[in-house]
Amino acid sequence: MSANAEKAKLAGVCSVRRKTIRGAFCRLTLNMPMEFPHPAPGQFILISPQPHSYDSQQTRATKFSTRLSRFDMGVPQDRTMLLRPMSIFDYVKAPGRPNGLLTLLFKVVGRGTLSLSGVEPGDRLRFLGPTGNGFNPLECKKTLLVAGGVGISGVNLLCKSLLAGGHPPLFILGVNSKEESPVRLSLTEVVPHHRWAIPKGTEPLRLVVSRMFDIFVPSMVASIYPGDQGAFCGTACELVERLFRANPAYAEKTMLAACGPAPMLEALEETARHYSVRQFLVVLEEKMACGAGTCLGCATRIKDLTDDAREAAFHYERVCTEGPVFDGYRVIYRM
Amino acid sequence: MASNNPQNVDFDDRAEALSLLKTSLGSMELKTPIMIASGTFGYGNEYDRIEGFCMDAVAAIALKGITSKPRQGNPTPRIFETPCGMLNSIGLSNVGVEVLINEKLPALADKKAHVIVNVGGETPDDIIDAARALSYHKRLFSAIEINISCPNLQGTPIGQDFHATRRVVTVIRQMYRRNTVIVKLVPNLSLISEMAVVCEEAGADALTVANSFPGMAIDVFERKPILGANFGGLSGPAIKPLSLLLVHRVRRAVSLPIIASGGISCARDAVEFIIAGASAISVGTALFYDARVCSRINEGIVDFLFEDAKRRGLTCPLPLRDYIGTLTLNG
Ligand SMILES: Cc1cc2nc3c(=O)[nH]c(=O)nc-3n(C[C@H](O)[C@H](O)[C@H](O)COP(=O)(O)OP(=O)(O)OC[C@H]3O[C@@H](n4cnc5c(N)ncnc54)[C@H](O)[C@@H]3O)c2cc1C
Ligand SMILES: Cc1cc2nc3c(=O)[nH]c(=O)nc-3n(C[C@H](O)[C@H](O)[C@H](O)COP(=O)(O)O)c2cc1C
Ligand code: FES
């Protein structure tokens, strides 16, 4: 997958414009510099979890002290050091405006994301991006997007571009607890709608239409949390399975793109194989250091192309460079 | 002239000021003391596509450690962030000398920096084999760095063994008459001064002091190491004081030029290492979190030179090379 491997990336500083926190989820809107290249669906940026004083703008009054701070500043002791990879949830550049607005959506899981959730509007954050190989031009007209929780940010731009291209995807969001309802409610406002046919096999369910950035997407929510109103009770993968079972011909024509935790992706692979889904793409996550393809820290195992599709032969590919979008049939999900 | 009156320095004349940073490493002329550490710059071209990274700020780049045969590297996860540092267990994942010679090195022909190849291996003979294959293509690079200190290989690093080190360096020295031969020392070696002497006797032109320190991290719920390969090398600002002491000790033992490596992330770090005795400083992990770090360090060193001249009442700043090894210990 080398659709946009040659695209330039920028190492720069952006400023925080807006922050919304719901439960463990945080949405950040960033004001990107003018030179920021337009990201492709599936691409991501690396972002510093906190501002650094030497990135702040110099004023005449601080010139001497910044001269010294430029001399002194490394990484402050109480902070995280490495940048964190984050999918580009949304990017809009209004006509006539020099700066684009980039939205991140993330879940607080550790030191870095905790620190990132503490930034304030006006803070300046270092970033690198947009980077990675996004979704290839798709072969299939029918698309099924599956997001596990905050994985929604990995497929959202794709969803947007499919809609713009006149091929509305079907969107399935898996939430695993009441906690994740912010992903579902505040970030995709759920409203019932009737324009799209309810997929065969899911008739007892309600097909909802989520509003994602003012575009309506036919979508279904799967929740393992019983009593979650309007949602399918079970995992996202079980819902996908049910859809394919009722409608195997649909599966064979479909491109399935998924982003979420590894066990979900692994379960989806099995389903995709079983129903011979035409194309299966996944967005992978791995810890990163450089994000530039140099450190080889983000390696993931990819099955070699052999006649025998067993797991024996594999090689490593870099999630930051060859990925994060991979052929889901060739990824080895288990540690 | 920007430098005539340091009280009133014209900071816009950067080009002139930057010429204060020139140093050398054996026969290699360096436009600035900054080099990029092996393993943090891939095969030299990855940063070309990053706007904001400036090759002019770098005098030399060390390529990813290369072995005679390609290596897949270690199981994942391979990196973990620790306070002010990171553990890596890449495991010398690399394309092998053949691909390096045929594809990677020719692509670097018009780099504005010296190219340093970094050779490694499980055994002394592995390293010698890789160095030999490269020796037929000597003109493609300026220097060869012998990595006897990779913390991510099986067993103890070769750089712990005086006899093996002497042999590797002697043999490789004989293959390379013109290119600068650099030996990258093991950091956690109590006899590092003695090892430096061995390398000097065996004909090394310069020493890199040092590499990442062996370390580990544990997942407390699984009660297992976090890294797939169990152990890794610690790099980043956390190890800076450790490598600074090593540079000081090696400086006292030998007169070879030293490349400092370990935790350098700002101009103050760079100047500390230079005062301790390094002729060049190598930036690794810092590049991961700030692609502009090299320019920032250069500018910061210039600021320092002017500031120091001012404090000493000099009419113009001294060149950086006059600071190398000028440390005086307390009474
Ligand atoms: C290409 C890419 C895109 C991503 N996009 C998003 C996004 O849009 N929104 C979002 O919330 N997260 C995203 N992530 C994951 C995010 O980068 C990590 O959650 C973050 O780096 C964790 O940093 P931390 O310091 O908070 O956690 P750490 O202290 O490093 O880890 C805390 C816990 O989180 C787990 N963890 C750490 N990193 C990851 C990871 N990469 N994947 C899964 N679990 C992890 C650890 O095992 C640990 O249990 C993305 C990752 C990649 C590689
Ligand atoms: C991801 C990574 C990969 C590395 N690979 C190599 C290598 O292949 N050969 C080598 O000699 N040193 C390697 N090193 C060590 C660095 O070159 C450097 O000596 C060390 O990281 C300390 O410097 P720093 O703190 O500035 O990063 C690697 C370091 C890192 C972080
Ligand atoms: S994060 Fe360094 S190679 Fe991918």
Amino acid (one-letter) located at A66: T
Tell me the average pLDDT of chain B. 91
Q: How far apart are CA B220 and CA B216, in angstroms?
A: 13
Q: Residue A217 — pLDDT band, cuts 50, 70, 90?
A: low
Domain ranges within chain B, ordered by starting residue: 6-323
Q: How far is CA A260 from CA A39, A173, B52, B99, in A?
A: 20, 10, 32, 36
Q: What is the pLDDT of residues A56-102, one digit of tens each?
A: 655 444 454 555 555 655 555 457 889 999 999 889 888 888 899 99
Centroid of ligand 1 to alpha carbon of B78 (angstroms): 14
Residue A187 in domain:
yes
Q: Residue A140 — pLDDT band, cuts 50, 70, 90?
A: low
Q: Which of A48, A75, A289 sits opposite B84 (nearest CB)?
A: A75
Q: How far apart are CA A149 and CA A236, in angstroms?
A: 10
Please indicate if any CB of chain A lies within 8 Å of the CB of B228: yes
Same-domain check for residues A120 and A164: no
Residue A17: partners with Cβ closer than 8 Å, 6 or more residues away: A29, A30, A31, A101, A121
C-beta of residue B238 within 8 angstroms of C-beta of residue B87:
no
Q: What is the pLDDT of residues B213-259, one digit of tens each?
A: 999 999 988 999 999 999 999 999 999 999 999 999 999 999 999 99
Same-domain check for residues A167 and A276: yes
Q: What is the pLDDT of residues B69-112, one digit of tens each?
A: 999 999 999 999 998 899 999 999 999 999 999 999 999 988 88
Global confidence as pTM: 0.88
Q: Residue A25 — pLDDT band, cuts 50, 70, 90?
A: confident
Q: What is the DSSP letter of B229?
A: T
Span B6-323: which CATH code? 3.20.20.70
Same-domain check for residues A242 and A201: yes
Domain extent at residue A25:
4-56+74-131
Q: How many domains does chain A have?
A: 2
CB atoms within 10 A of CB A278: 16
Same-domain check for residues A127 and A146: no
Q: What is the pLDDT of residues B143-157, one digit of tens each?
A: 999 999 888 887 788
Our answer to whether residue B150 is catalytic in this structure is yes
Residue A67: predicted pLDDT? 53
Residue A192: predicted pLDDT? 42
C-beta of residue A46 within 8 angstroms of C-beta of residue B81:
no
Same-domain check for residues A227 and A258: yes
At A69, list the tokens: 């701070």
Q: Which of B150, B199, B294, B316 is catalytic?
A: B150
Residue where a domain terminates, one of A87, A109, A131? A131
Is the CB–ligand 3 distance for residue A291 below 6 Å? yes
Q: How far apart are CA B207 and CA B26, in angstroms?
A: 11
| Strands annotated E in A234-298 | 254-259, 279-283
Same-domain check for residues A91 and A165: no
Residue A220: predicted pLDDT? 67
C-beta of residue A148 within 8 angstroms of C-beta of residue A261:
yes
Q: How far is CA A286 from CA A12, A269, A283, B69, B240, in A?
A: 23, 19, 10, 26, 27
Residue A82 in domain:
yes
Same-domain check for residues A89 and A146: no
Residue where a domain terminates, one of A240, A256, A283? A283
Please indicate if any CB of chain A lies within 8 Å of the CB of B71: no
At A57, list the tokens: 């703008």
Q: Do B76 and A299 touch (CB under 8 A)?
A: yes
Is the CB–ligand 2 distance for residue B142 below 6 Å? no
Looking at all shown ligands, the one closest to residue A296's CA atom is 3
Same-domain check for residues A179 and A225: yes
Q: Which of A221, A266, A275 is nearest to A246 (CA)?
A: A275
Is the CB–ligand 3 distance for residue A318 below 6 Å? yes
Looking at all shown ligands, the one closest to residue A74's CA atom is 2
Q: How far is CA B319 from CA B23, B34, B123, in A?
A: 9, 15, 42
